[in-house]
Structure 1
Amino acid sequence: MQSELDFITYLEAFIPLSVEAKTALSDVLKVRQYAKREHIVPLNGVNDVISFVVKGCVREYYLNEQTEEVVVWFGLEKDIAVSLPSFISQQPSHTAIQAIEPTKVIQVSRADLYQLYDQFHEIERLGRIIAEHYLMNSDAYIKELQTQNAAERYQHLMEQKPQILQRVPLSMVASFLGISGETLSRIRAKRVSR
């Protein structure tokens, strides 16, 4: 199936895989469709699959003490969606992953992935490289929140994932940037008036 081939090609950008490893991986991949607002990982659910976004848009969020949704990540085509701490520990996730629009993903279960780790050193190495990539992105997001002002964070989002602004409600963008909707409106108005 083309989606699975696209996923394997994506993975091979990190590390080449043997024919045997690709075949074994292809055998355990599942294609799944999620409706708009449907959860891939619900709040306090255990994340037992890794999802590769083929088509669509997802967000990762949590509820703060005021039970407001705080967005920490957006995923688009060719992004991997996973609550990594929950996936590794098999404990309830502190964040949820939800489709923002109708979304098609390719998934591999934790059980299947760990079995592949035991069988193929290159897949185990690939998992480590992707986990490192995930952790570096998380660290960069935290650093941005701590060191950049709202306008700088908005500029960075426009440079990295400009399509987010066409596909995601502005209230979610504001939450991701750690600002109010009003502040986001002011930043956007200033950019237009330049």
Structure 2
Amino acid sequence: MNHEKFFEVLDEIHQTSPGLRAYLNVALAQLDIKKHAKLSPEHNQMFPLTFVERGNLKTSLDSKQNPDNRLVRLHLQNTLIPKFKELNTDDFELTVEAIADSALMVIPNKHIYTLYQNFPEFHMLMSKISEIQLTELLHHGFNLHAHDVPTRLENLLIEQPEIFQIIPINDVARFLGTHPNTLSAIRNKKD
């Protein structure tokens, strides 16, 4: 397996040593999932680090009390999937689902102790990954609060111009915090 893109992403976050790279090359496993398949609730325990090598996924937070309320977070190719754990399972359901056939690169839990024990930079890497992912969530929440839908769409298209070719419009709408019909109307005005 070629893990170069994975290591490029890690090196952008924190420089990895040759020893850590060698160990990760051995430890990494590929998990293939089909379109619409959901990751098990135990996924984060079994695989503390997950990288989207191919395909796209979404994390959905659905309200059980009000089924029309849903928040979606997209995980596109060459990104790390944050570790989420829903604490209020009576009111909410948290799922991670493949939007397309996908290949994930994962580090099985059995390697985590060795990584932390033998590679000091792994501590820093995991800490920085968490910081980045939390900051991204804060910015996403801020954008939902501070910007109108056309501005959020414009910003998304600057970041991911092909978003409508790879992600269904319903998921893009949920990611932007709007209804699919509203998003379609905004797109039609732009054209």
Task: Specify if TM > 0.5.
Answer: yes
Per-residue deviation, residues 93-122 of structure 1 (Å, max 9, x unmatched): 952111000001100134423431222111
SS in 2 for 1:12: helix
% identical aligned pairs: 23
Counting only pairs closer than 5 Å after superposition, residues 36-55 of structure 1 correspond to structure 2 as 36-42=35-41, 45=42, 47-48=44-45, 49=47, 50-55=49-54
**What are structure 1's unaligned runs of at least 5 residues?**
none
CA distance in 2, matches of 1:97, 1:180: 21
Q: RMSD across aligned C-alpha pairs, in angstroms?
A: 2.3
Per-residue deviation, residues 53-108 of structure 1 (Å, max 9, x unmatched): 1110111101123224624311111111133456xx9x989521110000011001
Cα distance 1:47–1:121, how it changes in 2: closer, same or farther (>3 A)? same
SS in 1 for 2:39: strand
- Contact 2:59/2:74 (8 A) holds in 1: yes
- Give the deviation of 1:177 after TM superposition: 1.3
Q: Which residue of 2 aligns with 1:66?
A: 66
Q: Which residue of 2 aligns with 1:113?
A: 112
- Give the deviation of 1:41 after TM superposition: 4.0
1:176 maps onto 2:175 in alignment: yes
Superposition TM-score, scaled by structure 1 size: 0.85
- Give the deviation of 1:22 after TM superposition: 1.3
- Give the deviation of 1:10 after TM superposition: 2.2
CA distance in 2, matches of 1:139, 1:157: 16
Counting only pairs closer than 5 Å after superposition, residues 1-194 of structure 1 correspond to structure 2 as 1-2=1-2, 4-42=3-41, 45=42, 47-48=44-45, 49=47, 50-64=49-63, 65-68=65-68, 70-85=70-85, 95-192=94-191
CA distance in 1, matches of 2:44, 2:17: 28
CA distance in 1, matches of 2:107, 2:148: 38
